[in-house]
Copies of this chain bind each other. A is one copy, B any other.
Amino acid sequence: MSQYSEDSGYVVAVDVGGTSMKGGVVTRSGEVVATDRRPTGAEGGPENVVAAIRSFVGDLAARGSSLLGRAPAAVGIAVPGLVDDATATALYAANLGWRDVPATGLVPLDVPVLLGHDVRTGGLAESVLGAGRELTDFLFLPIGTGIAGAMIIKGGPYGGTSGWAGEIGHIPVFPEGERCACGQTGCLETYASAAAVARRYSARAASPATAERVAALTAAGDPVAVKVWDDAVEALSLALATYTLLLDPSAIVLGGGLAEAGPLLSDPLAARLGERLTFRSAPPLRKAALGVSAGMLGAALLGWRAAGVPDARASWALDVPKTSAVP
């Protein structure tokens, strides 16, 4: 006999990152009854990644079976790169090296599977369970090693015509600016990602530092750190002004490592965004609620959709985020 309610059932949820994967066993009522973490194994090539995901899904299903006495109802997987929703195929991911991997190839069980783009799946979770819970139209902007946004439009994540929507990290905020690794010039990401903040400080101070350290130095008034931080805020204010003018969101939800800086980031950013806009108001900035669990929780929501329970979330406890920290 399980300690969980009999009709709950569960899904296996996996969030595949560039270096590690986060997995969970999530019931229909949103209880995260098990979580795990494992390397993606990208250095071993795409076949290695596919094998690692299959084995992770299989192990999570075994955990679920032993805890809940049955096989999972479905599997949801968030992956980086391009995803074709119609054919449930992971089309392409530069950091994993794969092309055209069918969802069924990632799962060793005969159960329904749904794939989602990683950032949009995180945005789905923030929209259903997190900081955008009551909003239908907002931007979820995780600022980490890179920057990509999940545009929530009319209640759901928007992928554009071909799955490439949301590349706000590569809009040209400073057209005469620095060259980005993507080959374009003046991209937001090249000034404002956590990696960029660390890189730009380290180059100017001739001393390596993480973004977290640059934030601390900025708070302490270190002039080099202050300038680098200010450039990041300026770049973000331009990008968010552009987003606001184009999409008129009801809020902007900041996530990822850089958002951990809290008011050190959000206070000057909100002020500068407000100054930049003259004929309309700025949307409020909010902090993401789900942290690093957003992708896994979004994958669980996808899993419940695959299982034919699109409204599983309706019954999810409001404190899901608090109980779901991935180790």
Contact = CB atoms under 8 A, between A and B. Distances in A.
Interface of A: 136-137, 149, 151, 153-154, 158-168, 170-175, 182-184, 234, 238, 241-243, 245-250, 276-280, 283
Question: Closest 8 CB pairs between A and B?
Answer: A160-B248, A183-B278, A165-B248, A161-B250, A167-B245, A164-B248, A171-B242, A137-B161
A175 B314 CA distance: 44
5 contacts: A153-B154, A167-B248, A170-B279, A172-B238, A184-B279
A230 to B, nearest CB: 14
Nearest to A162: B248
A242 B183 contact: no
A161 B242 contact: no
B278 A167 contact: no
A242 B154 contact: no
A238 B175 contact: yes
A86 to B, nearest CB: 13
A246 B276 contact: no
Contacts of A158: 153-154, 247
A278 B182 contact: yes
Given A154-B154, A175-B174, A168 B245 contact: yes
Contacts of A247: 151, 158, 160, 165, 246
Nearest to A185: B276
Contacts of A164: 245, 248, 280
Contacts of A162: 248, 250
Contact of A278 (B153, B161, B184, B276): B184
Contact of A279 (B153, B159, B183, B245): B183
A313 B182 CA distance: 43
Contacts of A161: 136-137, 248-250, 283
A250 to B, nearest CB: 4
Given A160-B248, A167-B248, A242-B242, 8 more contacts: A136-B161, A137-B160, A151-B247, A158-B247, A167-B245, A168-B245, A170-B245, A172-B242
Contacts of A170: 245, 279
B246 A163 contact: no
B279 A182 contact: yes
Nearest to A166: B246
B137 A246 contact: no
A245 B247 CA distance: 13
A236 to B, nearest CB: 12
Contacts of A168: 245-246
A278 B94 CA distance: 14
A171 B248 contact: no
